[in-house]
Structure 1
Amino acid sequence: MFESVGWAEILVLGIAGLFILGPERLPSAAAWLGRSIRKVREFATGARDQLKGELGNDFDELRKPLQDLQQLRNFDPKQIVAKQLFGDDTNGIKPNGFAAASQPQPPVPPAPPAATPDPPKLAPGERPPVDPDAT
């Protein structure tokens, strides 16, 4: 719940509470806060248990997408990209075209030569043709 709060922030909050509430009321305020958090947790646990009891096996199906999202929060973008680029494929052929060592590599057909004709040479001072659709 308080994953992003460090010890320094807790210390600052404690000192601020000491100045605001004073040393007489600070212990009772801390006890009230603890009881309130405990009640909220009990309500959440009771609601989850009641929902799980009513839905049965469907409750696990509802939690599955949430668990998948929580797992995505823990991923590093570099790891995701590396896994997609260098991870094992189901067919054994890597993205770079090489096959895995356990499977024979299929023959690769040679690439056809580029058959683009060279544009005609322009005479000195001649303006190149303009394509109205390209401009």
Structure 2
Amino acid sequence: MFESIGWSEILVLAVAGLFILGPERLPSAAAWVGRNIRKVREFASGARDQLKGELGPDFDELRKPLQDLQRLRSFDPKQIVANQLFGDDTNGTKQNGFSATAQPSIPPVPPASPAVKPDPPKPTSGERPQIDPDAT
């Protein structure tokens, strides 16, 4: 409900309420707001329970498109990329069908020994040295 309100905004509202209402009326006003929010939540949950009781199994079918819309509304591409790159795979199977815990069945290939090149012959006087193509 208050997802977009941070602690700094709540602090600003409390300070503004302190100046507007004064220190003697602020606690009673905060209690009044808390009671009314609780009543609204109770009314909403009661209406949802009543609707769920009347519709029965059709309620879940009605709720699914609303949940899909809510998921689209809270779409965060940064979070999705971070989950794909750094997220923990809880069920062990990735979206591409490969298991995260499966080890490859191909045995690792031992590293090849480096090829030893013979030293090039030393140039005689007046002869140009050979050019090493790997060095250029």
Per the normalisation by structure 1, the TM-score is 0.56
**Seq. identity, %:** 83
SS at match of 2:22: helix
1:68-121 superposed Cα distances (whole Å, 9 cap, x missing partner): 1112123345869xxxxxx96xxxxxxxxxxxxxxxxxxxxxxxxxxxxxxxxx
Corresponding residue for residue 92 of structure 1: none
Q: How many residues align?
A: 84
1:2-51 superposed Cα distances (whole Å, 9 cap, x missing partner): 00101110000000000000000000000000000000000000000000
Letter aligned with residue 27 of structure 2: P
RMSD between superposed Cα atoms in Å = 2.3
Corresponding residue for residue 12 of structure 1: 12
Letter aligned with residue 32 of structure 1: W
Structure 1 segments unaligned to the other structure (5+ residues): 81-86, 89-135
Question: d(CA) in 1 for partners of 2:20 and 2:56?
Answer: 48
Corresponding residue for residue 42 of structure 1: 42
Structure 2 segments unaligned to the other structure (5+ residues): 82-94, 97-136
Give runs of aligned pairs for residues 120-131 of structure 1, distance below 5 A: none
Question: d(CA) in 1 for partners of 2:2 and 2:37?
Answer: 12
